[in-house]
């Protein structure tokens, strides 16, 4: 046991698949700022054309290029996912850690609030946020999704934090006079990060998919923004005559969600010294 293994983490091909999938989506999202095959609302082709050299992913009911929409959709998916996870993560982690440290009454109260909010449909929260801001926009959708997922992050953070706080090394740190701030930053956050990271990746996927539902209700990004969720929804009437219109955004969504989860797994293995050698 005394042999110290300082070896580099073994790279796992499955994790590379994750980095690859996310990398491709990021690449398309970034390129879409500078270049797309056509303009978003350019009705450049015939209606419902299958994939061809002129339209790599075919066209929609109005003859707009689907590959262009897919690229813009990649950008929107990333913005929605990152934004929602950032907002929900910050609110959730702060309240979760506070709950774990709070007096018993406050802790029970916060735990109950988390549970009630989790039972509250995200869509309902989203509608309330939209109503409060009096307009549907991408920003409103992100804010709504972030608020919607914050109680899930809060609940998990609270439980993970309590588990870490019950460990001897926390007691040892407290006996030696370590303040709460240092305990949170040096001991609690690093030790909950591996689990929390995987959960946040999951939330990222859920947020991207929930944005599709919001768009469906007209609460997401307004047209002509093409989120993958809206592409799916617009293609649902023509799924038998032009299946690629639904298939491609569906696949893209699937690839991004899978990719993010594999990536989170990979990052956890890379940064958790206990998993590194195993």
Partner 1 sequence: MALLTVETLTLATADTVLVEDLSFTIAPGERFGLIGESGSGKSLTSLAVTGLLPRAITPSGRIVLDGTEVIGASERALGALRGRAVATVFQEPLTALDPLMPLGRQIAGPVRRRLKRTGEASAAAVTAEVRKLTDQVRLPDPERLLGAYPHEVSGGQRQRVAIAMALACRPKLLIADEPTTALDVTTQAEIVTLLLDLVRDEGIALLFISHDLGVVGQVAERVMVMRNGRAVESGPAGQVLTAPRDDYTRSLVAAARRFDDALEGRP
Site residues, partner 1 (CB under 8 A): 1-2, 4-6, 104, 167-169, 171-179, 182, 186-187, 190-191, 272-274
Q: How far is the CB of 193 from partner 1 (least distance, A)?
A: 8
Residue with tokens 């969504």: 253
DSSP H or E segment with residue 197: helix 189-216
DSSP H or E segment with residue 238: none
Q: How far is the CB of 260 from partner 1 (least distance, A)?
A: 23
Contact 251, 184 (CB under 8 A): no
Contact 153, 228 (CB under 8 A): no
Q: How far is the CB of 151 from partner 1 (least distance, A)?
A: 24
Instruction: Quote the CA–CA distance of 260 and 263 in Å, as a whole number.
Output: 5
Cβ closer to partner 1: 94 or 173? Answer: 173
Q: Which residues are CB-contacts of 115 (< 8 A; sequence separation ≥ 6)?
A: 151, 155
* Alpha-carbon distances, residue 106 vs 111, 116, 120 (angstroms): 9, 15, 21
Cβ closer to partner 1: 132 or 172? Answer: 172
Q: How far is the CB of 100 from partner 1 (least distance, A)?
A: 12
**Strand, helix or coil at 104?**
helix
Q: How far is the CB of 222 from partner 1 (least distance, A)?
A: 45
Cβ closer to partner 1: 4 or 53? Answer: 4
Q: How far is the CB of 6 from partner 1 (least distance, A)?
A: 8
Helix locations, 13-103, DSSP H: 13-34, 66-101
Cβ closer to partner 1: 134 or 168? Answer: 168
Q: Which residues are CB-contacts of 272 (< 8 A; sequence separation ≥ 6)?
A: 194
Cβ closer to partner 1: 103 or 241? Answer: 103
Q: How far is the CB of 89 from partner 1 (least distance, A)?
A: 19
Tally of residues, the chain = 278
Cβ closer to partner 1: 160 or 214? Answer: 160
Contact 123, 213 (CB under 8 A): yes
* Alpha-carbon distances, residue 267 vs 10, 12, 262 (angstroms): 12, 11, 9
Tokens of 256: 């991004």
Cβ closer to partner 1: 135 or 168? Answer: 168
């Amino acid at each position: 046991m005394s042999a110290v293994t300082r070896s580099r983490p073994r790279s796992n091909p499955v994790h590379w698949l994750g980095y690859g999938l996310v990398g491709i989506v990021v690449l398309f999202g970034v390129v879409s700022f500078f270049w797309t095959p056509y303009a978003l609302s350019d009705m450049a082709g015939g209606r419902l054309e299958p994939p061809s050299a002129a339209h790599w992913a075919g066209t929609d009911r109005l003859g707009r290029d689907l590959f262009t929409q897919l690229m813009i959709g990649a950008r929107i998916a990333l913005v929605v996912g990152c934004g929602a996870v950032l907002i929900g993560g910050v609110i959730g982690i702060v309240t979760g850690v506070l709950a774990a440290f709070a007096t018993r009454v406050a802790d029970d109260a916060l735990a109950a609030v988390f549970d009630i909010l989790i039972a509250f449909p995200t869509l309902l929260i989203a509608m309330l946020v939209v109503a409060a801001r009096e307009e549907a926009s991408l920003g409103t959708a992100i804010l709504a999704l972030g608020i919607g997922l914050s109680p899930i992050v809060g609940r998990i953070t609270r439980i993970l934090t309590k588990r870490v706080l019950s460990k001897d090394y926390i007691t040892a740190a407290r006996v030696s006079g370590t303040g709460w701030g240092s305990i949170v930053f040096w001991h609690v956050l690093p030790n909950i990060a591996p689990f929390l990271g995987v959960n946040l990746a999951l939330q990222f996927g859920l947020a991207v998919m929930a944005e599709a539902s919001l768009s469906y209700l007209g609460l997401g990004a307004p047209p002509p923004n093409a989120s993958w969720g809206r592409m799916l929804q617009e293609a649902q009437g023509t799924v038998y005559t032009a299946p690629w219109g639904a298939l491609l955004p569906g696949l893209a969504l699937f690839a991004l969600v899978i990719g993010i989860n594999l990536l989170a797994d990979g990052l956890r293995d890379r940064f958790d010294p206990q998993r590194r050698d195993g």
